[in-house]
Amino acid sequence: MVPMATKTQDLSALWKQILDLFRNEMSPTSFDTWLRPSRAVAFDGQTLTVAAPNAYARDWLESRLSNGLRRKLVGLLGRHVQVRFVVQPQAEPTAEVAAAEPASLPPPLPEEWLEAAPATEEAEEEDLPSLPPLRLHPRYTFETFVVGPTNEFAYAASRAVAERPGQTYNPLFIYGGVGLGKTHLLQAIARATRAAGYRVAYLSAEEFFNHFFQAIRNHQMDAFRLRFRRVDLLLVDDVHFLIGKERLQEEFFHTFNALYYEGRQIVFTADRPPVALAALEERLRSRFEWGLIVDIQPPDYETRLAILRAKAEHMGLRVPEEVLDRIARHLEGNIRTLEGALNRLRAYGELRGRPITLEAAEAILADLFPRKLQVDPQRLLRMVAEEFEVTVEQLMSTARSRKVVLPRQVAMYLLREDARYSFPQIGHFFGGRDHTTVMYACEKIARAYERDEALRKRIRRIRERLYSAS
Ligand code: ADP
Ligand code: MG
């Protein structure tokens, strides 16, 4: 039961919110004639009773607004409520109702939207086109989502939205790099809310575009609009797809408004924050920023390990802890890479029928791990000398001509970067040079490497030869 049920004041505030929502999508004449003179007179938690000033008005409201009203109530109260219309002659709105300021009204309605308002007055539930089927991955649920410091905020916000759609963070905007769990969270919201009985549309921005495109081609824009504007939740994946598609943005903008002002929940994901969606029309981008914006960053070591454990277990894969640790330590990228590593281990296990040891894992995943460099310093010197057409002796000498100073510095830089020598070690290697000289050389080349394309090419060539098999 909602406490609101008994308090007249709350009932008035609720009705005021509903009126404001309807006002935005009806012609002023219809609104003034039918809706303004009616009011909510009772709410027992199950059924809202609305009083109209005469039988004619009651019939009109009943036939035209029942469904729209029920939907708005879902948006405002977070659950389904019945509606009953009665006749009560002196049903002028009281001064109290007129004055009551509802707690959380959306920002004022933009002018440009008014024309595109959905035709709630005419639209009866039965006539509405069906929603696209929900295609959800069975594993993308809240339960299988491993929470860590880099995704906990996105996770918590998604859960809150799934529990009370339209009432917490609206819109919710989740952004982050590839493979970090955005789609997973979005589908988890879709699954949970559908199970709770909400009408849910989940699709990628690209699919939205396809529906849109088809509707234009088949002259079915009305059906298209109704279809997406009757949902309780609209979940759109990868909205960066909208960049550069102006008509699509326009349509998306109207869909957004139609839903938003009815208190329906909207969730977006993108690969970057709204401010970085630079090419997006400003008014659409600003909509994205109305609600809550959360990011997902690449997982830290602990979370990677937890994800690996969970996934290995789910796959029924027996992997020694030291192998999981090795993967978690060295695969820092996204979660798909982690899954890829486990898939490879599984394939190996199935193929060879052997347990996965650390050695086996090292071999199977060698190309994923950073190279363990066994750089032979003499070989490195030879490669540098060849590239710069000097001799190894010249490199090792104290000669100061430009011709040998640069390659010598490059050799020092590579010993440092690739062979992981310390500055004093490098100084020693070059016949007892001071480590500050080495430091200077390494820094100079590191800077030049950023700016100097020709030098970068030379160093790349040396590395290629250095790491090729021969
Ligand atoms: P995005 O949409 O951000 O590119 P996905 O949601 O497709 O990434 O995630 C990529 C894969 O990683 C999916 O298989 C997903 O289930 C998995 N994944 C991502 N984050 C997590 C997590 N925190 N816990 C468990 N699995 C995750
Ligand atoms: Mg995705």
Secondary structure class of 236 (helix, strand, coil): strand
Mean pLDDT of 146-165: 95
Atom of ligand 1 nearest to the CA of 177: 3
pLDDT at residue 115 is higher than 60: no
Query: In terms of pLDDT, which residue wins out, 373 or 70?
Result: 70
User: Model confidence over 163-209: pLDDT tens digits?
Assistant: 999 998 999 999 999 999 999 999 999 999 999 999 999 999 999 89
Contact 146 CB / ligand 1 (< 6 Å):
yes
List the beta bridge partners of residue 200: 233
User: Model confidence over 223-262: pLDDT tens digits?
Assistant: 888 888 889 999 999 999 988 888 888 888 889 989 998 8
Residue spans of alpha helices (H) in 271-376:
282-288, 301-315, 321-330, 335-352, 358-364
Those residues with Cβ within 8 angstroms of residue 72's Cβ, 6 or more apart along the chain or in another chain:
18, 21, 22, 262, 263
Band (pLDDT 50/70/90 cuts) for residue 373 is: low
Distance of alpha carbon 52 from alpha carbon 60, whole angstroms: 10
Q: What 3 state SS string does 259-289 have?
A: HHCCCCEEEEEECCCHHHCCCCCHHHHHHHC
User: Model confidence over 266-309: pLDDT tens digits?
Assistant: 999 999 888 888 667 777 888 888 889 999 999 988 899 999 99
Those residues with Cβ within 8 angstroms of residue 159's Cβ, 6 or more apart along the chain or in another chain:
142
Mean pLDDT of 205-219: 90
Predicted pLDDT of residue 105:
33
pLDDT at residue 390 is higher than 60: yes
Burial of 335 (0-12, 13-18, 19+ CB in 10 A): buried
Query: In terms of pLDDT, which residue wins out, 218 or 56?
Result: 218
Contact 180 CB / ligand 1 (< 6 Å):
yes
Q: Within its chain, how far is the Cα of 258 from the centroid?
A: 22
Mean pLDDT of 362-383: 79
- Closest listed residue to residue 339, CA positions, set 176, 69, 144: 144
Distance of alpha carbon 415 from alpha carbon 411, whole angstroms: 6
Residue 448 Cα to ligand 2 midpoint, Å, equals 38
Look at 2-6, 50-54, 408-412, 420-424 and tell me which has the smallest mean pLDDT. 2-6
Query: In terms of pLDDT, which residue wins out, 441 or 44?
Result: 441
Atom of ligand 1 nearest to the CA of 238: 2
- Best substitution site from 184, 241, 294 to test ligand 1's pocket, by max atoms within 8 Å of Cβ? 184
Predicted pLDDT of residue 187:
96
Residue 436 to residues 221, 335, 384, 396, 425, Cα–Cα distance (Å):
72, 42, 22, 17, 12
Burial of 18 (0-12, 13-18, 19+ CB in 10 A): buried
Band (pLDDT 50/70/90 cuts) for residue 87 is: confident
- Closest listed residue to residue 332, CA positions, set 467, 147, 179: 179
Band (pLDDT 50/70/90 cuts) for residue 388 is: very high
Predicted pLDDT of residue 125:
44
- Best substitution site from 159, 180, 202, 337 to test ligand 1's pocket, by max atoms within 8 Å of Cβ? 180
Residue 181 Cα to ligand 1 midpoint, Å, equals 3
Predicted pLDDT of residue 294:
95
Contact 447 CB / ligand 1 (< 6 Å):
no
Mean pLDDT of the chain: 82
pLDDT at residue 361 is higher than 80: yes
Phi/psi at 388 (5° precision): -100, 5
Predicted pLDDT of residue 348:
84
Mean pLDDT of 215-227: 88
Band (pLDDT 50/70/90 cuts) for residue 89 is: low
What are the contacts of 52-57 at 24+ separation with CB within 8 A?
52/85, 52/86, 52/87, 52/88, 52/91, 53/87, 53/88, 53/89, 53/90, 53/91, 53/92, 54/87, 54/89, 55/87, 57/33, 57/87
User: Model confidence over 26-81: pLDDT tens digits?
Assistant: 776 677 777 888 888 888 888 889 888 776 677 778 877 888 888 888 878 877 88
pLDDT at residue 114 is higher than 50: no
